Structure 1
Amino acid sequence: YNLGQMPNQYTTLKNVVKMEEEAKKLGLADVNGYAALGKFFRAYFFDQMSKRVGDLPMTEALKGIENTAPKYDSQKVIYTQILKWLDDANSDMTALAAKGETISGDFYFNGDLKKWQKVVNAYRLRVLITLSKKDTDAELGIKAKFAEMLGNPTKYPMLGSNPESLQFVWNNFNKYPSNPDNFGFDATRQNMASTYVGFLSKTQDPRVMITCEPAGADLKAGKLASDFTAYRGAGSGDNIDDMARNAGLTNGAGFAPGIFSFQNRARYYQTYAGENTFIVGYPELCFNIAEGYARGWATGSAEDWYKKGIKASQSFYGIAEGSNTMTYSKSGARDAADLVKYSVNFNFDTFYAQSTVKYDAASGIEKIVSQKYAAFFMNSGMEAYFNWRRTGFPAFSSGVGNGNSNRIALRWIYPATERTANATNYTAAITSQYAGKDDINDQMWLVK
């Protein structure tokens, strides 16, 4: 199991610097929409890089030929700056929006800084939750910052629905996976993971019927597609050869092969219309607020926000009260003739009353993070992994399929360019953090 090298976002950050410079060339004031967005982008990309590897060049980075060997800053320094960038971006956007200023070239929110401001604050809450293991650090002030944000919605406006999320909306004609042209390449090879499928099946959550196919072997055995036990995934730590063999076992004519569930054919492979992809989503915001309340960072109802998060995620998939029409492929193919429709009745109150779902303080963090994991399905980058690494929830499968001596790696390694172009500072960084070894199994400050 090897996550490889950290994605090098410094090139992207150089583009952010150029954006800020071009705004100044246009004669804009120091506080302008592009500069405010630049603070958010800096926070976003340094967060994405640092939580993959640890310490990074920051204060001396992005100087061009003025400094080609920048020193590394500690994660604590980096995250202190990230929180400041986000707070400053929020303040700047408040002032700019009040004057009616907008930006151009924005295909996310069409230049509306009020919408960007809500994303900035949602991301700041994500960062505070990312720092949950440091919530007793007086200098970081995690609890106080969380309480201030939740206690002052006028100063810190938040996302209020799925459409307000920062999300990538695909063109109507989508050639990215998954689409009909890629069906033979990946749809018949990529079965679903047992952690995801098992969690939704255990909680009798109809999201599993929208994202997954019932397993062919279970259909052959007489189970209906409406039976939650007909959905099963493979362990991510299973032997790859065993997994491939079990996924390809013949079930006879008319039934999909294998003993595992695949991605739902109708949702992901029937048309070229891509599914919207959250970058910073409203469901995550709800769960992050719930977790902060559950940790005692402020006074509020963790359960209310937990329920809002579940409802928001289910709403994303179109799950409604009453009868819901589902579709699966009995044969495993994607042609219209292979698709079968069926109905499933859903009542949120009945669903929520299950002991496996209903919030309780004793298992509150586990339930919040596990539901957040389900809501992260195919969106928000690696946040599901980062939340698991931080909390241990939900339990991930590990074994020979992981490689890495059956372990799930805890970090990425630094880019090779750091070892060659910035060797002295790189060596000092791994010595101070990881006893001199760029080890994928070592723990960074963030999760200690």
Structure 2
Amino acid sequence: MKFRNIICTVAALGAIGMSTVSCTGKFDDYNTDDNATTKVTPGMIATQLILNITDIGGSKYSIYHSMLQKQVVWCEGAQEDNQYNMLSRVGFGDYTDFTNCQKMILEAASQTEAVQNSYKGLAKFLKAYRLYGITMKLGDIPYSDSNAAEGGNFTPKYDTQHDVFAHILEDLESAESLFASGAKFEGDPIYSGDPAKWRKACNAFELKVLMNMQQVADQSDAADLNVKSRFARIASSGNIFAGNDDNFMLVFSDAAGQQYPLYNNQHMSFYATSSYLIEPLKNLNDYRLFYYCSPAVGKTNAGVAASSWDAYPGLDPAGDQSVNNAIHADLMDCKPNQRYLQPAGEPIIRIGYMEQNFILAEAALRGWINGSAEEYYKKGIRASMEFIAQYTPAGETYNHGKEITAEYIDQYLAQPNVQLKSNFDGALEQIITQKYLGSYRQSLDYECWFDHRRTGYPAWELNPSTNLNDEQNKFPIRWRYSQDEIDYNKANLEEALNRQYGGNDGYNEKMWVVPNAVETPIAGKTITDFGK
């Protein structure tokens, strides 16, 4: 999927050694003449950099995270790696954006100081955002040397994960401060250059980062990061998301090259919805089911109404592939709702108000902040439902006769089995699982997978007979470093592996940020029972 058709060519060496950048522009909303070549502007570069972190790719690429997070079951031939827990190697191609960030700042030198501050803030946010996603998958990564190629160093050292998180937090707080003294800037397809919106996004994202440090928050080697006090300060700052209008999200349209990833997606014939999503929604009488899925054709052909819960069977994402394929061939599974197959689909959220409320609910439950965990938890559910209702066309084609209205949301939140439980483990399961149910077709990176690794929730089952992880009785808990690093930066990579994992680049090595990573299911828990 392409947006604004900004073309950047990169000459790279090694893992992150981008040494030259040249850009030419021919783009839609930010140009002065579609047919003229113009000087590169900071806005042109900003547009592509922002779209780089919001675009999740077209075709099958947009579905991989949903497979790994057990929301989608794939019914094409052999087992799909992501669905059955086989993780890949992670490359450092995203580092190339950092040279473009420097180019953006240089091109903004003629702007006012306030506008320059906004571009500098954007660069710091983008760096923190990118490297958070990489370190959460791998552990130690280059951070302080991330722009080393500009000085001719193509073999950057690896920072410890502790130091990576320290840099991420520092960059996010610096970005927020720069936006606070910034001005509206050009080239922003998300917030139209509004620095006040970007301040909120920086803070909302930092809350996510800090919650993912929960397992080390009380450890002595993280004392200098002040995880809990930072979280409390940001949560009470007044500069966090206040509603869905603040979401950091990409909006699609019917314009050429800007359609929703599932529109005209040739792979949709293999797509089925997971029982891990469908069964909890049924148990909670949750109308989001009717907005997420189309009824099984085999059910409606047999006379079952599209408005009936019985028309929505889910497939077991840990089940035998041949069994799932046979059920799929008999049309007894659910494809995505037709609303996802329209050109505009729905916006894809990267940092959202719904997610923020569930993070605050967990923080309140853990005693990190004052306030009611249940209140935040219910705000998260409400935000999810209101977002879905807002971005769904009217009519039974899309809601199958189960419309989400304000009255329905109030009724849903009043149900006894929706009330937050009084015991910690029960309440945590509800908070994390409701976040999971609200994240369908959203791209909060791999946050649901990270939540499962950190807390054990959502309570996914493990089937050793279908699990493709090296250790068949365990979920994997990390990815592996890229072959490029082995080939071009071996000495620094080996130093990092020896420091972290005794030299082993394995899928079940425990990184610093999650020393108690959950590898096996919680006894007696299964997500398909959630809400009963």
Residue 36 of structure 1: aligned partner? 121
Pair 1:268 & 2:340 matched: yes
Which one-letter code corresponds to 1:192 in the other structure?
A: T
Deviation at 1:218?
A: 4.2
More moved, 220-229 vs 43-52: 220-229
Distance, in Å, in 2 between the alignment partners of 1:29 and 1:109 is: 17
Q: Secondary structure at the match of 1:167?
A: strand
Alignment of structure 1 residues 290-439 onto 2, 5 Å = 290-318=361-389, 325-327=395-397, 341-343=400-402, 347-362=408-423, 363-379=426-442, 380-399=444-463, 400-404=465-469, 405=472, 407-439=474-506
2:108 equivalent among 23, 36, 44:
23
Q: CA RMSD in A?
A: 2.3
Unaligned runs of 5+ in 1: 250-256, 329-339
Number of the residue aligned with 1:442: 509
1:205 shift after superposition: 0.7
3-state SS, counterpart of residue 13 of structure 1: helix
- SS of residue in 2 equivalent to 1:159: coil
Per mean C-alpha deviation after superposition, the further-off stretch among 60-69 and 294-303 is: 60-69
Deviation sequence 1:191-243 (CA, Å, 0-9, x none): 01111112211111101111112334444565433333432221221222221
CA shift for structure 1 position 315: 0.8
- Give the gaps of 5 or more residues in structure 2: 1-84, 516-532
Are 1:94 and 2:167 an aligned pair?
Answer: no
- Structure 1 distance, partners of 2:439, 2:145, is 34
1:441 shift after superposition: 2.2
Shift of 1:145: 0.9
Aligned to 1:104: 186
- State the SS of the aligned residue for 2:273: coil
How far apart are the structure 2 equivalents of 1:145 and 1:297? 10
Q: Paired residues, what number? A: 414
| Number of the residue aligned with 1:277 | 348
User: 1:252 corresponds to which residue?
Assistant: none
Give the TM-score taking structure 1 as reference length: 0.86
Measure, in 1, the Cα distance between the counterparts of 2:245 and 2:497.
42
> Which range moved further: 397-406 or 13-22?
397-406
How big is the shift at 1:446?
1.3
**Secondary structure at 1:279's aligned position in 2?**
strand
Q: Residue type matched to 2:414 in 1?
A: A
CA distance in structure 1 between the partners assigned to 2:476 and 2:451 by the alignment: 14
Match of 1:191, SS state, is strand
How much does 1:2 deviate?
Answer: 2.2
Tell me the residue number matched to 1:166. 248
- Quick one: distance in 2 between partners of 1:30 and 1:191? 47
SS in 2 for 1:35: helix
Which amino acid in the other structure matches residue 121 of structure 2? A
8 Å CA contact 1:195, 1:395 repeated in 2: no
The answer for the alignment partner of 1:53 in structure 2 is 138
The answer to whether the Cα contact below 8 Å between 1:210 and 1:327 also exists between their aligned partners in 2 is no
Kept in 2, the 8 Å contact 1:238–1:398? The answer is: no
Q: 1:5 aligns with which of 86, 89, 92?
A: 89
How far does residue 171 in structure 1 lie from its aligned partner after superposition? 2.4
**Worse overlay, 117-126 or 347-356:** 347-356
Matched to 1:35, the amino acid is K
Please state if 1:234 is matched with 2:293: no
* Deviation digits for residues 113-163 of structure 1 (CA, Å, limit 9, x no counterpart): 11111111100111111111122132221111111122332xxx1111112
- Partner SS state of residue 109, structure 2: helix
Closer, same or farther in 2 for the Cα pair 1:361/1:37, shift >3 Å?
Answer: farther
Q: How does 1:126-165 map to 2 (within 5 A)?
A: 126-137=208-219, 138-153=223-238, 157-165=239-247
SS at match of 1:24: coil
Aligned 8 A contact 2:292 2:336 in 1: yes
Q: In the TM superposition, what whole-angstrom CA distance separates every residue of 1:34-87 from its partner, at most 9, and x where no partner exists?
A: 111111111101101100100011112211143222211111111111111111
2:328 matched residue in structure 1: 247
Cα distance in 2 for partners of 1:349, 1:112 equals 33
CA drift of 1:295 comes to: 0.8
Partner residue in 1 for 2:262 = 178
Residues 236, 398 of structure 1: 8 Å contact kept: no
Code of the aligned partner of 2:274: A
| 352-361 or 415-424, which deviates more | 352-361
Shift of 1:26: 5.5
Q: Which amino acid aligns with 1:294?
A: L
TM-score in terms of structure 2 length: 0.73
Q: Aligned partners of 1:117 and 1:27: how far apart in 2?
A: 19
Are 1:62 and 2:147 an aligned pair?
Answer: yes
Structure 1 distance, partners of 2:188, 2:494, is: 40
Distance (Å, rounded) in 2 between the aligned partners of 1:392 and 1:229: 29
The amino acid of 2:397's aligned partner reads T
Picking from 182, 189, 207, the partner of 1:125 is 207
Q: CA deviation at 1:401?
A: 3.8
CA distance in 2, matches of 1:176, 1:273: 5
CA distance in 1, matches of 2:293, 2:382: 19
2:277 corresponding residue in structure 1:
196
